[in-house]
Amino acid sequence: MKKAATPDEFKRAMRRFAAGVTLVTTAGRDGRAGLTATAMCSLSADPPRLLVCVNRDSAPNRAIAAAKRFCVNILGQKHRALALRFAGATGVQGEERFAQGRWGKAATGAPVLIDALASFDCTLADAIESGTHTIFVGDVRAASVATRGSPLVYEGGGFQALAAPKPARPTKRTKPRK
Ligand SMILES: Cc1cc2nc3c(=O)[nH]c(=O)nc-3n(C[C@H](O)[C@H](O)[C@H](O)COP(=O)(O)O)c2cc1C
């Protein structure tokens, strides 16, 4: 058996995984910081916990570890530009990333995207180093949810939208037997 899949093999296969897109944000002594992240998932409902995997080389990683709080904001279709901005595509860093979008302050002090599909305001419960990334586990102190909006999805190396389900085809009528 091969020792491990190559990074390229791994990435090519992982691109088929359709993921919701989030902005993970924090605020500390050096101001606000945040990044676009798809490596987020629910950990448990009781206690309410989630986890997010953040590259150790990124500025937001250091900021989250120091501030011990973060907010996970679930993006909708209208947030594509924001997703690119917080992924570094426009070249802006740190506080400057927050010049776009409607931002408020959550109870923990972390920045919250006012019109996110949902937001999870967290205090840091655990930080586990694994290879290039840190797994940040958050205790969810507050969860807010919008009633409208369609999620932004990342799949196949690009942003996608959920397709509306095809209408069910009418079942073929068979002629009544005589
Ligand atoms: C769709 C998408 C998903 C991403 N998901 C993650 C992720 O889950 N974890 C991560 O560390 N970086 C992820 N990134 C990369 C970071 O958003 C990017 O490296 C960011 O600029 C890091 O912040 P910095 O430039 O301030 O260091 C993702 C990028 C994109 C476009």
For 28-66, what is each residue's pLDDT tens digit? 999 999 999 999 999 999 999 999 999 999 999 999 999
Domain 9-160 annotated CATH 2.30.110.10: yes
Q: Whose CA is nearest to atom 31 of ligand 1?
A: 87
Ligand 1, CB cutoff 6 Å, lining residues: 21, 35-39, 53-55, 58-60, 87-88, 93, 154
Query: Which pTM value belongs to this model?
Result: 0.93
Q: Whose CA is nearest to atom 27 of ligand 1?
A: 58
CA of 35 to the centre of ligand 1 (A): 5
For 113-168, what is each residue's pLDDT tens digit? 999 999 999 999 999 999 999 999 999 999 999 989 999 999 999 999 998 877 88
CA of 100 to the centre of ligand 1 (A): 17
Quick one: pLDDT at residue 102? 97
Question: Domain locations in the chain?
Answer: 9-160
Cα–Cα distances in angstroms (integers) from residue 90 to residues 63, 93, 126, 148, in the given order: 20, 9, 31, 28
From the alpha carbon of 159, which atom of ligand 1 is closest?
Answer: 1
